[in-house]
Amino acid sequence: MELRRELILTIALLILVNALLALGAVALLARMGPAVAHVAAAGGDDALPRVAATVARLGSGGAWAVVGLGFLSFVGSLAAIAILHRRILHPVEELHAVLEAARTGDPLRRAHVTDAPYELRAVAQAVNRMLDERMIERTDKEEGRVRNRGSDR
């Protein structure tokens, strides 16, 4: 649960930073237009009028483009949360549940991790093998006790 909380907080921070960047860009575009036009009017350079014309042409369209990019970044962050939860957090939670069940005495519970990175699938397979070997050892011990009881009679 701690990993999930840290991951969600990290992604929430990324979303907040993206939103602040988008708002800052909108504010910058709103202030930049008049400033560039003023500089272009004061100077006689040919480049400044072209810059002023470009800023005027982009105007609110440029600001909306920045807002659109911020929104796409937000949607991308939500998609990243969903993918990370499905591919990393869910398999880790599954492994935790299997190990917790084994600790409390459930010898049959196994990890079923299919849609995860290779490393997590390998850990799940190793845990399953360990639990299988533990069950075989337990069965062998019980069979040995039964044989010993039979020979004692």
- Whether the CA torsion 147, 149, 152, 153 is positive or negative: it is negative
Predicted structure pTM score? 0.53
pLDDT at 60: 65
Q: Tokens for 53?
A: 């014309």
Q: Of 65-69, 89-93, 111-115, 124-128, where does mean pLDDT reach its minimum?
A: 65-69
Asked if residues 36 and 51 have their Cβ atoms less than 8 Å apart, the reply is yes
Q: Of 5-14, 29-38, 109-118, 121-130, where does mean pLDDT reach its minimum?
A: 29-38
Asked if residues 66 and 30 have their Cβ atoms less than 8 Å apart, the reply is no
Q: Coil, strand or helix: which one is 104?
A: coil
Asked if residues 40 and 52 have their Cβ atoms less than 8 Å apart, the reply is yes
The whole-angstrom separation of Cα 146 and Cα 125 is 31
- The answer to whether residue 108 scores a pLDDT higher than 60 is yes
